[in-house]
Amino acid sequence: MDQLQTAADLIELQACPICGSRTSSSFESLHDGGRVVSYLLCGSCAAVYQSPRMTVEALDSYYKREYVEQHQRAGGVTEKELRIQAGRARNLTRLLQSRVISVDRHLDIGSSTGSLMVAVAEAYGSAGTGVEPAEIYRSYGLARGLHVVPDLGELDGNPFDLITMAHVLEHLPDPVQYLCELRDRWLTSDGAILIEVPNLFGHPSLELPHLFGFSSSTLRYVLGRAGYEVVRVKRHGSPRSQLIGLYLTAIVRPRGAGGSAPSRKPDSKNVRIRRRFGMIWHRLATRIAPGWAWLPLPELEVDP
Q: What is the pLDDT of residue 293?
A: 96
> From CA 82, how far away is CA 232, in angstroms rounded?
27
* Residues of the chain falling short of pLDDT 50: 1-5, 74, 303-304
Q: What is the pLDDT of residue 4?
A: 45
Helix axes 79-97, 115-124, angle to 10 degrees: 30
Instruction: For residue range 69-93, list pLDDT tens digits in order.
Output: 665 554 678 889 999 999 999 999 9
Amino acid at 247: Y
Q: What is the CATH number of the domain that holds 262?
A: 3.40.50.150
Residue 21 lies in a domain: no
Instruction: For residue range 181-190, list pLDDT tens digits in order.
Output: 999 999 999 9
Instruction: For residue range 10-63, list pLDDT tens digits in order.
Output: 999 999 999 999 999 999 999 987 889 999 999 999 999 999 999 988 888 888
Q: What are the DSSP calls for 69-136, one per residue?
A: IIII-TTS--HHHHHHHHHHHHHHHHHHHTT----SEEEEET-TTSHHHHHHHHHH--EEEEE---HH
Q: What is the pLDDT of residue 3?
A: 45
Q: What range defines the domain where residue 230 resides?
A: 78-293
Residue 130 lies in a domain: yes
Assessment of whether the complete model's pTM goes beyond 0.85 = yes
Number of domains in the chain: 1
Residue 188 lies in a domain: yes
Residue 9 has phi, psi (to 5 degrees) of: -90, 0
Residue 65 lies in a domain: no
Residue 193 lies in a domain: yes
Residue 134 lies in a domain: yes
**Helix or strand or coil: residue 270?**
coil
149-180 exposure pattern, b = at least 16 Cβ within 10 A, e = fewer = beebeebeeebbbbbbbbebbbbbbebbebbe
Residue 234 lies in a domain: yes
Residue 251 lies in a domain: yes
